[in-house]
Homo-oligomer: A and B are copies of this chain.
Amino acid sequence: MDETPFPARVLAAVAAKRGPVVVGLDPRPERLPRDLIEWGRQRHPDTRRATAAAVGAFDRLIIDAVHDVAVAVKPQLAFYEQLGWPGIQILEETMSYARRKGLLVIADGKRNDIGSTAVAYARAYLGVGGEESGLVADALTVNPYLGTDSIEPFLPACRRGKGVFVLVRTSNPSGAELQDYPADSPGAETVAQRVARMVLRLNEGLPAAGGFGPVGAVVGATTPEHAARLRRELPGVLFLVPGYGAQGAGAAEAANAFVKGGGALVNSSRDILYAWEREHPGEPGTADDFAQAARGAALRMRDALAAAAACGRNARLDSESTLKFAASKE
C-alpha cells in the first residue's frame, strides 16, 4: 500500500494531469450504449450479471478515454449496489482497472455509522485494520450527521495514505434545509460551518502535504457563495466539488472552491459519461461514440477549469478576503 499522504498524491496527480478533473462513474444501465448491453447479454443469460458485465465494459471504456486527462474516477456505489453482488464484483474490477491506468479512486458511498460499524466501513473502502475487501479506494466520501466519533474510525487510514471527504455543503436543492440551519440567526454558526470546524479539528496531527490534510470536504459548486465562504474558512482543506455540468455549475462556479487556483477536485459524472447523448440527441451511439464524446467533454472541462483558475488567481490576489487569508498564514 502506498502510504504517501493522500493530499500529496492528489497534488502530484493534479500537476501531472494539468487539472483537477474527476470523472464520476454513475453507470446507469438504461443509458449505456446498446452494443455493450448486447455484448453483456451474450455473455450471461442471467439479467443481473449481463447488466453488470455491460457496466464493467462501459467503465473500462470511460477509463481508457479519460485516464490521461482525469486525476481520479469516483464510482458512485449505489449504481453497483443496485445490481447486487455481481455489481460489487464489477466494482472491484473497475477500481482495480482504474488504479492500473494511473487514476486515483474515490469511492462515493457517503457512508456513516457509529464506532465499530464505521471501522467496518473503513476496512471495506480504505483497507486498514482488516483483510482486503477488494473494494479498497484511495478515499471515501462520508456523512457527518452522527458526529465526530463516526468519522474518527477513518483516521487511522488517513495516517496511512488514505483520505476521506466529509459532506459539508452539498449541491442539491434541499441541501440548505439542515446544512444552512439556522439561516435566520445573523452571526450564528450554520450546521455546515459546524461541520467545517469538525473537518479542521479532524485534520490536526494527520500527515499533510502542500498545506492540505487528508480529511477533505465535499462542497457543492451550485451554491458558489457557500463554496467561497467555506474556502476562506478552510484554507488547508481539499475540496471535492460535485455539481459541475449536469447539475448546473460551470467552471466559474467551481473556481470558488480553489485556493490560489488549486486545492479542489472537481467532479463531473453524467456530462462526461453521456456526452454523446447530449451532443447527438435521439441518435443511438456505439461504445466508440460514447468514448470519444467522453474524452472530448473531459478535455473541455479541464481547459475551462484551467481558465477559471487562472482568472480566479488574479482576481483573488486583489480581493480583500484573500489578502486577509494570506496575511493570517504568514
Write the residues of chain A forming the contact surface with B, with a CB cutoff of 8 angstroms.
26, 28-29, 47-48, 51, 76, 78-79, 81-89, 91-92, 110-118, 120-121, 123-125, 130-135, 143-150, 167, 170-179, 181-182, 185, 188, 191, 194-195, 198
Contact = CB atoms under 8 A, between A and B. Distances in A.
Interface centre among A147, A150, A170 (most CB of B within 10 A): A147
A112 B115 contact: no
17 contacts: A76-B113, A81-B133, A82-B124, A83-B133, A84-B92, A85-B91, A110-B112, A114-B170, A144-B178, A145-B167, A146-B167, A146-B175, A147-B172, A147-B174, A149-B174, A178-B194, A182-B188
A178 B150 contact: no
Given A145-B143, A145-B167, A170-B146, A78 B121 contact: yes
Copies of chain A in the complex: 2
Contact of A78 (B29, B117, B148): B117
A51 B130 CA distance: 12
A114 B145 contact: no
Given A146-B167, A146-B174, 20 more contacts: A47-B131, A51-B131, A76-B120, A78-B113, A78-B124, A81-B88, A81-B124, A82-B124, A84-B88, A84-B92, A110-B112, A110-B113, A110-B143, A112-B112, A114-B171, A146-B172, A147-B173, A150-B174, A177-B198, A181-B191
A191 B144 CA distance: 13
Contacts of A131: 29, 47-48, 51, 82-83
Interface centre among A26, A82, A115 (most CB of B within 10 A): A82
Main secondary structure of the interface of A (DSSP, over half): helix
Contacts of A85: 85-86, 88-89, 91-92, 134
Interface centre among A47, A120, A124, A182 (most CB of B within 10 A): A120
Contact of A181 (B112, B170, B194): B194
Contact of A84 (B82, B83, B133, B149): B133
